[in-house]
Structure 1
Amino acid sequence: MRLFHPPKNGRLNLRASSLPLFFAIAAAVSIFVGCQTLPANSAQAATPVAARDKQPVKSGQDAAPVKARDKKSPKTPETTGLGQSRGNRISYHAFLSGLLAEIAGDNDRAFFYLERAHEADPDSFTISMELVRLSMERNEDGKTLARAIDLAAKHPENAEAHFLLGVARARNKEFEAAARSYKKSLEIEPGEKAVYVALMMLASQSEKMEIAEDILKSLAVRFPAEPLPRYSLGAIYAEKKEWDKAVAEYGRAAEADPEMAEPARREIIRVHQASGQTAKLIEVYKAMLAEDPADIEASAGLAEAYLAEKDLPKAKTVIDGIIKDSGGEAAIIRSAGRLYYGAGYPDEAMKLFTALAERPDSGPEDWTLAATVLEDMGKKEEAYKIYVRVPPDSRFYATARVNAASISKTAEDREKAYEAVKTASGKGGAETNLYISLAAVFEDAKNFARAEAILKKALTEHENEPHLMFRLGVLYDRWGKKDEAIKTLKQAVALMPDSPEALNYLGYTYADLGVNLADAKALIEKALEKKPGDGFITDSLGWVYFKMGDFNKALEILKKAVEIVPDEATILEHLGDAYLASGNAAKALETYEKALPKQEDQEVKKGLLKKIEELKKSGKTP
Structure 2
Amino acid sequence: MDYYGLMRIAPRFPVLALLLSALCASAQTASPPAPAAQSSALDAALFYQLLLGELNATGEDPGAAFSLILDAARKTADPRLYQRAVDLALQARSGDSALQAARAWRQALPLSREANRYVLQILIGMNRLAETAEPLKREITNAEAKERAIAIGSIPRLFARASDKKGAAQVVEQALAEYLSTPALGVAAWTTIGRMRMEAGDGNSALEAVRKAQALDANAEGPALLALALMATKQTAAEALVKKYLDGKPQAEVRLEYARSLIEARRYPDAASQLDTLTSERPEIAEAWLMRGALALDDNRLELAEAAFKRYLALVPARNSRSAASAESQGLVQAYLALAQIAEKRNDMPQAESWLARIDSPEALLNAQLRRAGILARQGKLDEARKLIRSQPEKTAADARQKLNAEVQLLREAKQYRAAYDLLSESLKRFAADADLSYDLAMMAEKLGRFEEMERLLRAVITSKPEYQHAYNALGYSLAERSIRLPEARQLVQKALELAPNDPYITDSLGWIEFKSGNLAEAQRILQAAYKNRPDAEIAAHLGEVLWVMGRREQALAIWREGMVLSADNETLLETLKRLRVKL
TM-score where L is the length of structure 1: 0.48
- Give the conservation status (yes or no) of the 8 Å contact 1:575–1:588: no
**Displacement after TM superposition at 1:421 (Å):** 4.4
2:196 matches 1:232 = yes
What pairs with 1:206-605 in structure 2 (closer than 5 Å)? 212=166, 216-217=169-170, 220-221=173-174, 224=177, 231-233=195-197, 235-236=199-200, 239-240=203-204, 243=207, 245-246=209-210, 248=212, 267=226, 270=229, 275=239, 277=242, 280=245, 308=275, 310-317=277-284, 319=285, 338=290, 341=293, 346=305, 347-353=307-313, 368-375=333-340, 377=342, 380=345, 381=348, 384-386=352-354, 389=357, 394-408=362-376, 409-412=378-381, 415-425=384-394, 430=399, 432-548=401-517, 551=518, 553-565=519-531, 568-575=536-543, 578=546, 584=550, 586-587=551-552, 591=556, 594-595=559-560, 598-599=563-564, 600-601=568-569
Q: Which has the larger radius of gyration?
A: 1
**Displacement after TM superposition at 1:399 (Å):** 1.7
Q: Matched residue of 1:310: which SS?
A: helix
Aligned counterparts of 2:538 and 2:133: Cα–Cα separation in 1 = 68
Aligned counterparts of 1:222 and 1:412: Cα–Cα separation in 2 = 69
What pairs with 1:4-403 in structure 2 (closer than 5 Å)? 212=166, 216-217=169-170, 220-221=173-174, 224=177, 231-233=195-197, 235-236=199-200, 239-240=203-204, 243=207, 245-246=209-210, 248=212, 267=226, 270=229, 275=239, 277=242, 280=245, 308=275, 310-317=277-284, 319=285, 338=290, 341=293, 346=305, 347-353=307-313, 368-375=333-340, 377=342, 380=345, 381=348, 384-386=352-354, 389=357, 394-403=362-371
CA RMSD of aligned residues (A): 5.7
- Give the conservation status (yes or no) of the 8 Å contact 1:596–1:608: no
User: Could you list the per-position Cα deviations for residues 223-256 of structure 1 after superposition, in whole angstroms to 9, with x for gaps in the alignment?
Assistant: 847988675125458834854514757999xxxx
Aligned counterparts of 1:190 and 1:392: Cα–Cα separation in 2 = 51
| 5+ long unaligned stretches in structure 2 | 8-127, 136-158, 180-188, 233-237, 261-270, 297-303
Q: Matched residue of 2:439: which SS?
A: helix
**Displacement after TM superposition at 1:371 (Å):** 3.0
- Give the conservation status (yes or no) of the 8 Å contact 1:250–1:264: yes
- Give the conservation status (yes or no) of the 8 Å contact 2:133–2:174: no
Aligned counterparts of 1:421 and 1:400: Cα–Cα separation in 2 = 14
Q: Matched residue of 2:444: which SS?
A: helix
Q: Matched residue of 1:425: which SS?
A: coil
| 5+ long unaligned stretches in structure 1 | 1-28, 36-181, 194-199, 207-211, 253-260, 290-296, 320-332, 616-622
Aligned counterparts of 2:434 and 2:384: Cα–Cα separation in 1 = 25
Aligned counterparts of 1:395 and 1:190: Cα–Cα separation in 2 = 46
Code of the residue aligned with 1:420 in structure 2: it is: I
TM-score where L is the length of structure 2: 0.51
**Displacement after TM superposition at 1:441 (Å):** 0.9
**Displacement after TM superposition at 1:606 (Å):** 6.2
- Give the conservation status (yes or no) of the 8 Å contact 2:169–2:196: yes
Q: Matched residue of 2:457: which SS?
A: helix
Cα distance change on mapping 1:454 and 1:394 into 2, 3 Å: farther
Q: Matched residue of 2:393: which SS?
A: helix
- Give the conservation status (yes or no) of the 8 Å contact 1:577–1:588: no
Aligned counterparts of 1:303 and 1:284: Cα–Cα separation in 2 = 17
